[in-house]
Amino acid sequence: MNKTVSAETGVKLYVNTIIKNKSGLIGVIMILFFVALSIYAVTNFSNVSHQWENSIYWETYPKNAMPYWMSYFNPNKIFATEAITTKPSIIYSSNTYDIYQLNYNFTWYKEMAPTDVVFYIKTNSPIESIQILWIKPDGTNITLSTTSPVSVSDLITYSSSIDSYITEQIGYVPPSTTSQTLSQALFGYEGKGLLNGTIEKGLYRISITIVTSPNTKILLNKVYLEGNAYGLFGTDSYGRPIDLGILLGFPNALEIGLLTSIISVIGGVIIGGISGFLGGKTDSAMNWVTLVILVLPALPFLVVLSYIMRPNLILEALLIAFLSWPFYAIIARSSAQSIKNETYVEADKVLGIPSYRTFFTHFLPRLTPFAIAYTALGVPGAIILVETLSFLGLTPAGLVTWGSILNSAESNLAAVNGWWWWILFPGVMIILVSIPFVMIGFAIEKAVFGGK
Amino acid sequence: MPILTIKNLSIHFYTPKGVRKAVDRVDLELNKGEVVGIAGESGSGKSTLALGIMRLINYPGKIVSGEIYFNEENILKMSEDDFNKKIRWKKIAMIFQGSMNGFTPVFKIGDQIREVMEIHGYNGDYDKRIKELLNMVELDESVANKYPHELSGGMRQRAFIAMALALNPEILICDEPTTALDVITQAKILNLLKKLKKELNLSIIFITHDLALLSEISDKLYIMYAGAIMERGDSLQIYKNPKHPYTQLLMEAIADINKDYIKGIPGFMPDLANLPNGCRFSNRCPFAMDICKKKEPELKRLDGDRYVSCWLY
Amino acid sequence: MGYKTYLIKEIIIYVTVLIAAMSLLYILTYPVIQEVLKATVQTEAEGFKQAILKHASGHGNLNLTSINILVNKYKASLMAAYGLNQPLYLKYFIQMKNLLIFNFGNAYFLTAPNGSHKVYAIIAAYLPYTIILFTTGTIIVILVGTLLGLLSARYAGTVWDKLVPTIAVVHSSLPTWWLGFLLIAALAYAIKIFPPGGITSIPPPKSPLMYSINMLYHMALPLIAFFIVNVGGFAYVVRSLVISTTKEDFVMTAKARGLSDSRILYRHILRTASPSISTQVALAIAGSFAGGLTTEIVFNWHGVGWLTYEAILLNDLPVILGINFVLTVILLLALFINEMIKGYLDPRIKAGE
Ligand SMILES: Nc1ncnc2c1ncn2[C@@H]1O[C@H](COP(=O)(O)OP(=O)(O)O)[C@@H](O)[C@H]1O
Ligand code: SF4
Ligand SMILES: [Mg+2]
C-alpha cells in the first residue's frame, strides 16, 4: 500500500468505504432521516416548543395517555379522546345578562368511562356562571356546578357536586377522588354500585347552561371525553404528547451532539497534532495541559459548571468540548508522532521547508480521516452527556430535550405509576440517534486503522 | 531424490476484487545441501509460495491445488497437528523479512529460543544449546538475557537465525532476510548464511527481489513473475545466458548500476486477479508476438534442468 | 536517565497537574458560589434580626442601634465562617493548601450520617457505597469484557466476532441511568422482583448476614444496568488491542515456529497487549470511584455520585471541592500506578523511556 495517498483521494476513499460498508450506509441513511425530522420540527413546531412548559396550553389533552396504537389490543378499554361540539342557543337575553344553552348528545359503548371530561367554552367576555345537567341513558341525572366558572373546566372543577352525588349513591364519603373516579360516577349505574366499574351504555345527553354579560358571543365550544390513549407515544402528566416532545428534541440533540463533537475533535487534533509534530519542550508543556483537563472528573465537573452557569446550547457544547478534547489530543499526538517518523517528513526538514508548511501539507491531511472517524464516534457521547445533564434538570433554557422529558417522568413518578411510554420512548430515541454515528465511526475506523 | 518437491502448487486469495492467483501452478525442487534462489519483482508471489510451504496461508488465501513432498511425504496431506509436531521448525524453518520484529517483544531472546525447543521436545541441555546457537551466528552469549528491543536490527536477525537453527532443521527458507538491513549488515548476514550452509549441510530456499544478491549464494535459480515461474535452471547458466525476456531485462538492469532495475522495466505487473490472456508478461515484453496474447506458453524444458516459459523457445 | 530521576519527574508532573486541576475548578466555581454564600449570609442575618425584633418587642430594653450592632456581629461571624472576608489570593492559597493536606474543612450545609460537618467525614461516609456498587460492577465488567474480547479476537468470522462490536454499539449509545430507570419501572414496579432503589430496606435488617443479603438484593438492578451498558465497551477495547497485536510480525513467526494458536494468543499476544489492557483497567477502576452520578440518583444509591449532586444543589463548595479533589487524586494515582505496572509488564518501558 502506498502510504503517501493524497488527502483528497484519502477522504474519497473513506466516503466510499462508509457507503460500501453496509452498516455505514444504513448509518448515513438514518442520519439523513433524522436531519429531515429535525428540519420538519424546526419549521413546523418552533412555536409549540415555547409552550412546552406552559401547562395551561396542554389542558385539553388527555393526561398520562398511553400510545394510541395500544387500543388495537383492547379497543374497549384503550381509546382516544373524543371531542363533541354543538350549536349554542340563546334562551334568555336582557341588558343585564344573557343565558345560553348548549345541548350535546353522544353515545358511549366502551367498557370504561373516559379518564376525564373537559368542557371548553370560549367566549369574548368572562362567563359568570355555569351549570351542567348530565343525563345518563336510563334518564337518571346529575347537576354539576362550580363557584368559580372558567372557560376550560374538567371534572375536578366540579368535584364538590360529583362528590356529594357519589356520597348520596354509595352511602359514604368516597376516600379520594381522581378524575377517573369522578368520570366513573358520571358513567356508572346509580346506586351502591356506582363506582364498581360497570358502565351504562347508550345515549348520553349534556345540557350546559351559562350566564354571561350581555352581548357575549360563544366563539367555540367543545366537550372532550378524554381517552387514555393518544398519538404515537402517548402523553405525560401534563397532557404533553411524547411524540411531539421527541420531535422537538431532535434538532437539539443533533445540533449539540455534532457541535460538541466537531469542536472537541478539531481542538484535540490540532493541539495533539501540533504537540506530536513539534516535540520537545512544547510537547511536554502541551501534554501537561492535556493531562490537567483529562484528570478532571468529567460529569461532576460538568454538572457543577452547568449548574452555576446555566449555559445556552452553544455554551454547553463548548463546556463539554472543553472537557473532552484531551481524549482526541492524546490519540492525535501519537498518530502525529508516527507520521513524523516517516521518512518523507524527515526529507522535508533536510530540504529546509518551513515546518508550519510541513504541518499543513503532511500532518493535517493525514489526520483528517482520523478526525472524521472520531467526530462520528464522539457524537453519541456528547448527546448522552447533554441528555444526562437535562435529566438532572440542567437543560439549556427554553429547550425541549429527551433528557428533560425523562426528568419530568422521574419527578412525576412515571415508573411507580407504570407510565412506561414516558420512560421508554425518549430513551429509545437517544439510542436510535446514537447508533448511526457509532456505525459510521466504526466503519471509518475500520477503513483507517483496519487496513494495516 | 530432492529433499523438497513442489508439484503444480496454486495458492489463491479470495479478495472482494476477485481471485488473486498469487501462486499459479508452480513446480520446484530442492536438493540436499543446495541453495535455490527465487527472484522476482515485489508482489510476484514469492512470499506466498514460501508461506505455502510452511502451511501459513491465512484467510482469504487458500492452497487450491498441488502437492508438496518433504522427502516422500506429502506435507499438505498431514493434519495440522502432525505438521506442527513433525515438520514445522523441526524440519523446515524460516526467516522472514520482518524477522527482526519476529521476536515477541516482552520475552527475552533466550527464553524464546528455549520455548521453541521445549514445545518441540528437544533432548539435550537447553542452556548449552542456546549458547552454541548464539556462537554459531556470531553473537555474544549474553544476548540470551536481552529483550529484543535491546538489540540492533542486524543482531535481531542473527538471533532469529539462531532460533531457526535450534532444532537442526534440514531446510531453511529465507524470505528477503536482508532487505530491511543496511548494506554492510546485509553482506554479513549473507556470509553467515553461506557459512552455515556449508557447516550444517543445510538446504536453503532464498527469496529476494534483488537478483544481484542471489548470484553470490544460489546454486539454482527460479525467476517468478505474476505468480508463475518464467525460467528456471542452473544459477550460473542463467546469469551467463538468460533466455526469458523478463530475465534478460532483469539482468540488464543489474548490469547497469545507474538503473533501478524494477523501474527499469517499463509497464506494470498485471493485477493477479485479472491476468492478461496468453503470456502474463506480454503487456511489457519487447518481443511479444501474436500468439503471446492468445495462448499461454508452457514451462518448456530446453536442456538439462533449464526450463523457460516463452513462445520464443 | 535513571529510574529515580524518571520517578521524581513523574511525581512532579502529577502533583502540579493536581494543583492546576483544582485551581481550575476553584476559579470557575468561585464567583457564583461567593454570590450564593453572600445571599445566604444576608437571609440568615435577616432571619436573626426578625427573631430579635420579635423577642425585643416584649422587653423594650433593646433599641434599634444595639440590635443592628448585634446583627452585624452575627453577620461578620457568618462571613468569617464562610471565608468571605479574606482577600481573593489568600482565600485561594488557603484553599489549595488545605486541599493538599486533605483538610477540606467543614461543609456549609451537608452533614455525615453521624452528624459530623467535616467534609472528609462526609466523603468517607458515602465513598464506600460507591465502591461497593461500582467497583464491583467494574471488576465484573473487566473480567467478562476481557473474556468476550479474547473470544471475539480468537474466533474471527464467527458469532463471537460479530457479537462484540454489536454490544459495543449498545455501550456507546445507551445511558446507564436511562436503562436503570426503565428497569425500575419494569422490574421493581410493574413486576415486583427487585427493590426500586436505596441501599437497604428501611429499616435495614439487624443481623449482618441479612443486612448483606438485603444490600446485594438492592445492588442487583443497578449492577445489571451497569453491566449491560459497559461490558461491550470493554470487550471492544480488548478485542481491538488483541487484533492490532495479532497483526504484528511476531505472531506470524510464532506460528511458523510451530506454537499452537492458543499458546500464541494467551502467552504471546495477550502478554504483549497486557500493558495497554492494564491502562484500560486502571482507568476503568479509577473511574468507578466517581460512580455513575446519574445512576446513583436514579437508584437513590447514596454514594459519592449522589452526594456530589446534593452538594451542587446546595452550593456546598467545600464538599464539591473535596469530592473533586479526592476523585482527581484517585485518577492520578491510578495513572501513576499504571505507569509502574506498565514498566513492569513491558520491558521496552522499563528502561526508563
Ligand atoms: N493476505 C492477502 N490478502 C490478499 N491478497 C494477498 C494477501 N497476501 C498476498 N496477497 C496477494 O498475493 C500477491 C503476492 O504477494 P507476495 O507473495 O507477498 O509477493 P512477494 O513476496 O513476491 O512480494 C500480491 O500481489 C498480493 O496481492
Ligand atoms: S511469450 Fe511472448 S510475451 Fe511472453 S515473454 Fe515470451 S515473447 Fe514475451
Ligand atoms: Mg515478499
Strand partners, B88: B92
Range in A47-51, B274-278, C341-345 with the lowest mean pLDDT: C341-345
Summarize the confidence of residues A21-34 as an average pLDDT.
Answer: 87
- Across the beta sheet with B4-15, the strand order is B18-30, B4-15, B61-70, B73-74
| Residue in C156, C255, C272 nearest the CB of B56 | C255
CB proximity A388 to C under 8 Å: yes
Q: DSSP strand E in A94-167: where? A: 98-108, 116-123, 127-135, 141-145, 152-153
End-to-end CA distance of chain B: 28
Query: How far apart (Å, rounded) are the C-alpha atoms in residues A376 and A444?
Result: 9
What is the H or E stretch that residue A389 is in? Answer: helix A364-391
Q: Is there a contact between C346 and B103 if contact means CB atoms under 8 Å apart?
A: no
Residue B299 CB-half CA count within 13 A = 20
Q: Decide if A165 contacts A185 (C-beta within 8 A).
A: yes
Interface subset of C 188-227, CB within 8 angstroms of A: 188-190, 196
CB contacts, 8 Å: A31 with chain C? none
pLDDT of residue A345: 54
Angle between helices C119-130 and C270-290 (to 10 degrees): 130
Mean pLDDT of A115-122: 92
Chain C residue numbers touching A392 (CB-CB < 8 A): 294, 297, 309
Confidence of residue A353 (pLDDT cuts 50, 70, 90): low
Per the model's pLDDT, the better-predicted residue between A9 and C161 turns out to be C161
Q: How many CB atoms lie within 10 A of CB C8?
A: 11
Q: Longest C-alpha distance within chain C, in Å?
A: 103
Structural contact between residues A128 and A211, judged by C-beta atoms closer than 8 angstroms:
yes
**CA angle, B267 then B269 then B271, to 5°:** 125
CB contact under 8 A, C172 and A292: no
Collect all residues of chain C within an 8 Å Cβ-Cβ radius of residue B89.
256-258
Local structure of B245: helix, strand or coil: helix
Report CA(B241)–ligand 3 centroid distance (Å). 26
Picking from A334-338, A386-390, B308-312, C237-241, which range would have the lowest pLDDT averaged per residue? Answer: A334-338
Kindly list the protein residues whose Cβ atom lies closer than 6 A to any atom of ligand 1: B 13, 15, 20, 22, 40, 42-48, 60-61, 272
CA distance B219 to chain C (A): 25
Instruction: Kindly report, residue by residue over A52-101, the tens digit of the pLDDT.
Output: 888 888 888 888 999 999 888 988 889 999 999 999 998 888 888 899 99
- φ, ψ of residue B218 to 5 degrees: the values are -90, 145
Answer whether residue B11 shows pLDDT above 90: yes
User: Is residue C180 a contact partner of residue A410, using CB atoms and an 8 Å limit?
Assistant: no
Give the distance (Å) from ligand 3 centre to CA of residue C38: 76
- Spatial neighbors of C112 by CB under 8 A, at least 6 apart, are C118, C121, C122, C124, C125
Are A300 and C324 a contacting pair at CB < 8 A?
A: yes
pLDDT in tens, B218-266: 999 999 999 999 999 999 999 999 999 999 988 887 766 555 545 567 7
pLDDT at residue A350, rounded to an integer: 56
Interval B24-48: pLDDT, tens: 999 999 999 999 999 998 889 999 9
Q: What is the pLDDT of residue C140?
A: 95
Question: Nearest C-alpha of chain C: how many angstroms from A430?
Answer: 7
Residue B268 gets the label, from left (phi > 0), alpha (psi -120 to 50) or beta, of beta
Contact call for residues C327 and C320 (beta carbons, < 8 A):
no
> What is d(CA A153, CA A145) in angstroms, rounded to the nearest whole number?
11
Strand partners, A210: A100, A130
Identify which of B84, B85, B98 has the shortest CB distance to residue C249: B98
The helix or strand, by DSSP H or E, that contains position B84, with its residue range, turns out to be: helix B80-86
Residue C247: list chain A partners with CB under 8 A.
452
Q: What mean pLDDT do residues A2-12 have?
A: 47
**Angstrom distance (rounded) from CA C123 to CA C305:** 10
Instruction: Tell me the shortest Cα–Cα distance from C140 to chain A, in angstroms.
Output: 22
Q: Which of C258, C271, C272 minimises the CB distance to B89?
A: C258
State which of B10, B44, B59, B174 you would mutate to test the pocket of ligand 1, scoring each by most atoms of that ligand within 8 A of its C-beta.
Answer: B44
> What are the φ and ψ backbone dihedral angles of C4, each rounded to 5 degrees?
-70, -50
CA C50 vs. chain centroid, Å, equals 43
Angle at Cα C131 formed by Cα C125 and Cα C132, nearest 5°? 95
Q: Give the model confidence (pLDDT) of B57-105 as tens digits.
A: 988 899 999 999 999 899 999 998 899 889 999 999 999 887 778 899 8
Q: Residue A442, class by beta-carbon neighbours within 10 Å (0-12 exposed, 13-18 middle, 19+ buried)?
A: buried
Flag if B104 and C260 touch (Cβ within 8 Å): no
CB contact under 8 A, C182 and A424: yes
Q: How far is C104 from chain A (nearest CA, A)?
A: 17
SS3 call for A310: coil
For residue range C86-131, what is the model confidence (pLDDT) as tens digits?
A: 788 888 887 788 878 887 878 888 988 888 888 889 999 999 999 9
Instruction: List pLDDT tens digits, range A155-166.
Output: 989 999 999 999
Query: Does residue A416 belong to the interface with chain C, where contact is any CB pair within 8 Å?
Result: yes
d(CA C94, CA C87): 11
SS (H, E, C) chain C: CCHHHHHHHHHHHHHHHHHHHHHHHHHHHHHHHHHHHHHHHHHHHHHHHHHHHHHHHHHCCCCHHHHHHHHHHHHHHHHHHCCCCCCHHHHHHHHHHHHHCCCCCECCCCCCCCCCCEHHHHHHHHHHHHHHHHHHHHHHHHHHHHHHHHHHHHCCCCHHHHHHHHHHHHHHHCCHHHHHHHHHHHHHHHCCCCCCCCCCCCCCCCCHHHHHHHHHHHHHHHHHHHHHHHHHHHHHHHHHHHHHHHCCHHHHHHHHCCCCHHHHHHHHHHHHHHHHHHHHHHHHHHHHHHCCHHHHHHCCCCCHHHHHHHHHHCCCHHHHHHHHHHHHHHHHHHHHHHHHHHHHHCHHHHCCC
pLDDT of the residue at C184 = 93
pLDDT of residue B228: 95
**A307 touches C at CB < 8 Å:** yes
**Cross-strand partners of B20:** B13
Q: How many angstroms from the chain centroid is the CA of residue A284?
A: 45
Asked if residues C295 and A392 have their Cβ atoms less than 8 Å apart, the reply is no
Task: Take residue C97 and report the three cell numbers written for it.
Answer: 493548601
- The model carries a pTM of 0.81
Domains and CATH numbers, chain A: 7-52+241-449 (1.10.3720.10), 70-226 (2.60.120.1300)
CB contact under 8 A, B102 and C272: no
For a mutational test of ligand 2's pocket, the pick from B225, B247, B280, B312, i.e. the residue with the most ligand atoms closer than 8 A to its C-beta, is: B312
Query: pLDDT value at position C84?
Result: 77
In contact, B11 and B228? CB cutoff 8 Å: no
| Pairing label, strands B73-74, B300-303 | unpaired
Are B39 and B233 a contacting pair, CB within 8 Å?
A: no
* Closest ligand to the CA of B308: 2
Among the ranges given (A84-88, C159-163, C324-328), the one the predictor scored with the smallest mean pLDDT:
C159-163
DSSP, res A77: T
Contacts across the A-C interface (CB distance below 8 Å):
131
Buried b / exposed e over C153-180, threshold 16 CB at 10 Å, is: bbeeeeebbebbbebbbbbbbbbbbbbb
For chain C, percent of residues with pLDDT exceeding 70: 95
pLDDT-based confidence at A21, cuts 50/70/90? Answer: confident
Question: In this structure, are residues A202 and A137 in contact, taking their beta carbons and an 8 Å threshold?
Answer: yes
Instruction: Tell me how far apart the alpha carbons of residues A154 and A116 are, in angstroms, rounded to a whole number.
Output: 7
**Mean pLDDT of the residues in chain B:** 90
Q: What is the pLDDT of residue C172?
A: 84
Chain C contact probe: residue of A281, A287, A295, A377 with most C CBs at under 10 A: A295
Contact flag C312-A434 (C-beta cutoff 8 Å):
no
* Cell numbers representing residue C305 in the block: 455520585
The conformation of residue B151, written as its DSSP 8-state character, comes to S
What's the rounded mean pLDDT across residues C246-257?
A: 89
Distance from CA of A438 to the nearest CA of C (A): 6
Chain C residues with CB inside 8 Å of A279's CB?
none
Nearest residue by C-alpha to atom 6 in ligand 2 = B310
- Determine the average pLDDT of the residues in C43-69: 77
Assign C353 a pLDDT band (cuts: 50, 70, 90): very low
Largest interatomic CA distance in chain B: 65
Distance CA C164, CA C150 (A): 10
Amino acid letter for position A329: A
CB-CB contact of A304 with C25 (8 Å):
yes
The packing angle between helices C317-345 and C3-59, to 10°, is 170
- Substitution target in B90, B99, B106, B171 with the highest count of C β-carbons within 10 Å is B106
- Interface check for C33 against chain A (CB to CB < 8 A): the answer is yes
pLDDT value for A7: 44
Cβ-Cβ contacts under 8 Å, B116 against chain C: 257-259
* pLDDT range class, residue C58, cuts 50, 70, 90: low
Q: What is the pLDDT at residue C341?
A: 81
Nearest to A310 by CA among C106, C181, C297, C35: C35
For residue A433, report the distance from its CA to the centre of ligand 1, in Å.
41
Instruction: Quote the pLDDT of residue A450.
Output: 55
Q: With 60 as the cut, is the pLDDT of residue C151 above it?
A: yes
User: Which chain C residues are closer than 8 Å to B147 by Cβ?
Assistant: 347-348
Predicted pLDDT of residue C352: 42
Residues near ligand 2 with C-beta < 6 Å? B 245, 279, 281-282, 285, 287-289, 292, 297, 310-312
Q: Among candidates A205, A229, A194, A230, which has minimal Cα distance to A107? A: A205
